[in-house]
Amino acid sequence: MTTRSIAVSPGCAYRRTGSDPASGVRRLSSLTGREREVLLMLGTGLGNRELARELGIAERTVKAHIANILDKIGQHTRTQAAIVAALAHDVLCVDRACTRHLVRVAGQRDEVSAA
């Protein structure tokens, strides 16, 4: 049997690092409508050039939006912001045809009919 020094995790990474994306979710109300739209797009993992094309704005405007978003939701990197976007999809997404919403709505309908 080989001996490998695998560190045993001392606990939750969020707790250990003090960097929990949930804190960003709680600060979404400080964002403008456009910033919410940019944040949701950021969750797709697209780069700035692609985001600019999708949103119909200049790349420098995308960068400015992202800087403002990071500041407002208390995150340091676009990756952290993208995680916030994924966690907060239901709050950020206003597309009523979005399939993620349809799953949720179907669940709620089941709860209502069971009552």
Measuring CA to CA, which residue among 85, 91, 93, 79 is closest to residue 39? 85
* Among 98, 102, 109, 110, interactor with Zn ion by CB under 5 A: 98
CB contact at 8 A, 103 and 39: no
Of the pair 13, 98, the CB lying nearest Zn ion is at 98
Site string for Zn ion, 45-84 (x = CB under 5 A): ----------------------------------------
Determine the Cα–Cα distance for residues 87 and 48; give it in Å rounded to an integer. 21
Q: Which stretch binds Zn ion (CB under 5 A): 2-10, 12-20, 66-74, 85-93?
A: 85-93
Q: Does 105 bind Zn ion (CB under 5 A)?
A: no
Of the pair 58, 98, the CB lying nearest Zn ion is at 98
3-class SS at 1?
Answer: coil
3-class SS at 106?
Answer: helix
